[in-house]
């Protein structure tokens, strides 16, 4: 059995996982319970995974983290926007 | 420059990133804005990364995902517990 399958399965799951969070945040127009520190640290970490994946030529790591980066940047933008627009606190 | 450094840096960041979320959830006693679907999908994905990391002998992937798994399981447990105990909704 090709071990790359686990890599791609992992890549799809840990990438697609952030789509429900983005949809929930856009629907409820708030993400107060989502930690800003977590989002910023996670985005910086994902950027590092992209560099690592590129260097060890791991396509699952590279592709997964590129999409994860985009989704988490959108969650971060939505959180900051909604907290300024709808939930002054 | 050793490429493993990026792997370990990425591992530390994307792992430690979930600590502020866990602390925030424990402090505020709620995580209503955190998507349950995201948590479950992410945990399943992290389990797959552990299998992949073990098979390609990548210590950064293996160690990072083991700790990420524990932190996200704790966030999931805290979210479900607090939603049943304090925030009936």
Q: pLDDT category, A3, cuts 50, 70, 90?
A: confident
Structure-token match 């493993």, residue found: B4
Residue pLDDT, tens place only, B36-84 = 999 999 999 999 989 989 999 988 788 889 999 999 999 999 999 999 9
pLDDT at residue number A8: 84
Cβ-Cβ contacts under 8 Å, B61 against chain A: 61
pLDDT at residue number B1: 66
pTM over 0.95: no
Q: Sign of the CA dihedral B69, A35, A50, A18? A: positive
Residue pLDDT, tens place only, A49-62 = 899 899 999 887 88
Q: How large is the ipTM?
A: 0.87
Residue pLDDT, tens place only, A13-61 = 999 999 999 999 999 999 999 999 999 999 999 999 899 899 999 887 8
Q: pLDDT category, B89, cuts 50, 70, 90?
A: very low
- Residue length, chain B? 89
Structure-token match 């798994």, residue found: B69
CA distance A19 to A67: 10
Cβ-Cβ contacts under 8 Å, B37 against chain A: 17, 20
CB B24 within 8 Å of CB A33 = yes
Q: HSE of A55 in the Cβ direction (CA atoms, 13 Å)?
A: 13
Cβ-Cβ contacts under 8 Å, A7 against chain B: 48-49, 52, 56
Task: For Cα atoms A24, A30, A35, give the angle at the middle one, nearest 5 degrees.
Answer: 95
Nearest-CA neighbor of A18 among B65, B37, B17? B37
Alpha helices for B29-89 (secondary structure H) = 36-55, 59-85
pLDDT at residue number A87: 58
pLDDT at residue number A6: 87
Token pair for residue B34? 């955190």
Token pair for residue B58? 């990548």
Class of domain B31-84: mainly alpha
- The CATH architecture of the domain made up of A4-85 is Up-down Bundle (1.20)
CB A36 within 8 Å of CB B24 = no
A74 in B contact zone (CB under 8 Å): no
Q: Parse chain B into domains and list their residue ranges.
A: 31-84
Give the residue from chain A lying closest to B21, CA to CA. A35
Nearest-CA neighbor of B83 among B20, B25, B18, B17? B25
CA distance A73 to A24: 15
CA distance B77 to B39: 10
Which has more confidence, A82 or B59?
Answer: A82
């Amino acid at each position: 059995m090709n071990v790359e399958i686990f890599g791609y399965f992992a890549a799809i799951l840990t990438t697609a996982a952030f789509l429900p969070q983005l949809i929930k945040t856009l629907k409820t127009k708030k993400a107060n319970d989502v930690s800003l520190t977590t989002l910023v640290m996670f985005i910086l970490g994902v950027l590092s995974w992209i560099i690592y994946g590129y260097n060890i030529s791991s396509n699952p790591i590279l592709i997964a983290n590129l999409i994860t980066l985009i989704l988490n940047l959108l969650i971060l933008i939505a959180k900051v926007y909604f907290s300024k627009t709808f939930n002054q606190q």
